[in-house]
Amino acid sequence: MSLPAQLNYTAEHEWLEDRDSVVRVGVTPYAAEALGDIVYVQVPDVGQQIKAGEACGELESTKSVSDLYAPATGEVVAVNEAVVDDPSLVNADPFGQGWLMELRVSEKGELLTAEQYAELTGGA
């Protein structure tokens, strides 16, 4: 798997893409593969304040349920309704159509570069 170098990553397997005044957030292919076929996505509501490092949603697969952790502190300004309607997008295109939410960030959490994340996941 090739990790886009322009993104930041978390140890909890989320990615962040800076987009002007907001960041777009999703889960990495490593996480999507580990979960298996994702069948349900719960993300925070638009307007909700979330805090870096705290659970803010869930991803449910045919194997298990996994918490979604906030990679930054801020306000949710958009959610990807396409993923809520079709959770398989997370597996099919985690860096593209499978994004989860956008945040107006007040403080970023602990972030990793693509190289650091690859080391964490054994080069995945």
3-state SS track over 57-106: EEEEECCCEEEEECCEEEEEEEECHHHHHCCHHHHHCCCCCCCCEEEEEE
Identify whether 12 is part of a domain: yes
User: What is the mean pLDDT of the segment spanning 96-115?
Assistant: 95
User: pLDDT-derived band of residue 8, with 50, 70 and 90 as boundaries?
Assistant: very high
Q: What is the rounded average pLDDT of the residues 35-41? A: 96
Please check whether residue 67 lies inside any domain of the structure: yes
Structural domain that includes position 86: 8-113
Give the whole-angstrom CA distance, residue 93 versus residue 95: 6
pLDDT, residue 74, reads 96
Q: Confidence class of residue 20 from pLDDT cuts 50, 70 and 90?
A: confident
3-state secondary structure of 33: helix
Look at residue 111 in the predicted model and tell me its pLDDT. 94
CA distances from 82 to 9, 10, 41, 43, 55 (A): 23, 23, 10, 12, 21
Does residue 106 lie in a domain region? yes
Which tens digit of pLDDT belongs to each residue from 58-69? 999 998 999 999
Residue entry with tokens 């490593």: 30
Q: How many domains does the chain have?
A: 1
Q: Name the band, by pLDDT with cuts 50, 70 and 90, for residue 109.
A: confident
73 pairs with which residues across the strands?
A: 107
In a domain, 119, yes or no: no
CATH number of the domain that 33 lies in? 2.40.50.100
Q: What is the model's pLDDT at position 63?
A: 87
User: Alpha carbon 110 to chain centroid distance?
Assistant: 14
Domain for residue 1, yes or no? no
- Digit-coded pLDDT (tens) for 112-123: 999 999 999 987
Q: How far apart are CA 121 and CA 124, in angstroms?
A: 5
